Amino acid sequence: MAAVPQLLTLRVAEARALNPLIRLLRLVADDAGALPGFTAGAHLRVQVTLPDGKTDWRHYSLIDFSTQPGATEAPREYVIAVRREDEGRGGSLFMHERVQPGDLLTIEAPKNEFPLRALESCAVLIAGGIGITPLTSMAAQRKAEGRAVRLHYAGRSRSLMAFLPELQQLLGDQLELHADDEAGAPLDVEALLDSCSPEDQLYVCGPKVLLDAVLATTQARGWTHERVHFELFTTPAVEAGDRAFEVVLAQSGKTFSVPADQTVLDCLIEHGCDPLFDCKRGECGVCSTAVIDGEIEHRDYFLSDAEKASGKVMQICISRARGARLVLDL
- For the chain, the structural domain boundaries read 7-111, 123-232, 245-328
Q: Are 247 and 258 in contact (CB under 8 A)?
A: yes
Q: Looking at residue 234, what is its pLDDT?
A: 63
pLDDT by 10s per residue, the chain, length 330: 345 679 999 999 999 999 999 999 999 999 999 999 999 999 999 999 999 999 999 999 999 999 998 899 999 999 999 999 998 889 999 999 999 999 999 999 999 989 998 888 999 999 999 999 999 999 999 999 999 999 999 999 999 999 999 999 999 999 999 999 999 999 999 999 999 999 999 999 998 889 989 999 998 999 988 899 988 776 666 677 889 999 999 999 999 999 998 899 989 988 889 888 877 878 788 899 999 999 999 988 788 888 999 999 999 998 999 999 999 999
Q: Looking at residue 88, what is its pLDDT?
A: 83
Of 292, 293, 134, nearest in space to 204 by CA: 134
Q: What is the DSSP letter of 55?
A: E
Q: Are 268 and 275 in contact (CB under 8 A)?
A: yes
Q: What is the DSSP letter of 322?
A: S
Of 313, 316, 293, 294, nearest in space to 303 by CA: 313
- Its CATH architecture, for the domain 123-232, is 3-Layer(aba) Sandwich (3.40)
Q: Looking at residue 235, what is its pLDDT?
A: 62
List all residues 6 or more positions away from 267 whose beta carbon is below 8 Å from its beta carbon: 247, 256, 257, 258, 259
Q: Are 298 and 308 in contact (CB under 8 A)?
A: yes
Specify the CATH number of the domain 245-328: 3.10.20.30
Q: Give CA 157 to chain center in angstroms.
A: 21
3-class DSSP state for residue 173? Answer: helix
- Its CATH architecture, for the domain 7-111, is Beta Barrel (2.40)
Radius of gyration over every alpha carbon of the chain, rounded to an integer in angstroms: 20
Q: Looking at residue 3, what is its pLDDT?
A: 59
